[in-house]
Structure 1
């Protein structure tokens, strides 16, 4: 696990990559239960066969949630992230049960705030499946502790 980084430690242009994670059927079922999104597109194989995808797809918000978890797993924001301020996000391609996802992040900007103990960090995120296809992308804006 990497050491936590403060706002001051990041440079515009810095990049980092997450580990890969496979999206399991149990993940989809648990997410449907927690989110109450019971769309048959995610849960009913027979229904999903009648859609343009031909099979069940993973909730887009589940993939986004996994990205936030993968961020935490990197350790670079452990104890320094003070929360998400904004997310700008695009869902480019479906993710299917059994797909493995991984993200690449790039620091786009750092903004000082009026409070000297924190700053804004803006990162662009590309989420890829195991075939290298971009399935989701966007920007995370976080409030990060300063030294």
Structure 2
């Protein structure tokens, strides 16, 4: 699920409340939009070939950029389902800039792009909102009975 720092809170639909939101204007809405820009999603991207090792990327996708937080080369062992981690390698940020750039390009060629991650983010937020509304309706129906 997206990490919504400063994300919008759900307002009382009937307009009833303690009057805290009574003077809300466009300026407050712009702040909500800025907060939405800080939200992110975490991704684990696994690239594998038939029977060889796998590359595992741990990424964070923001609206304007994708960062690679960690990368591992995972080798399979003789025992089914067991994996070994002989050497995790250096921190991603310690890799030479041309290697970092090449790995970003590697992920981009496999569909990890800003447009794809922004779509996933929007989809998850929309789905979460729909699930919340559905849950509130069920709660309302239960209380009415």
Find the structure with the greater CA-based Rg: 2
TM-score range, shorter chain: under 0.3
Structure ranking higher in strand proportion: 1
TM-score normalised to structure 2 length: 0.24
The structure with higher relative contact order (CA 8 Å, sep 6+) is 1
Structure ranking higher in helix proportion: 2
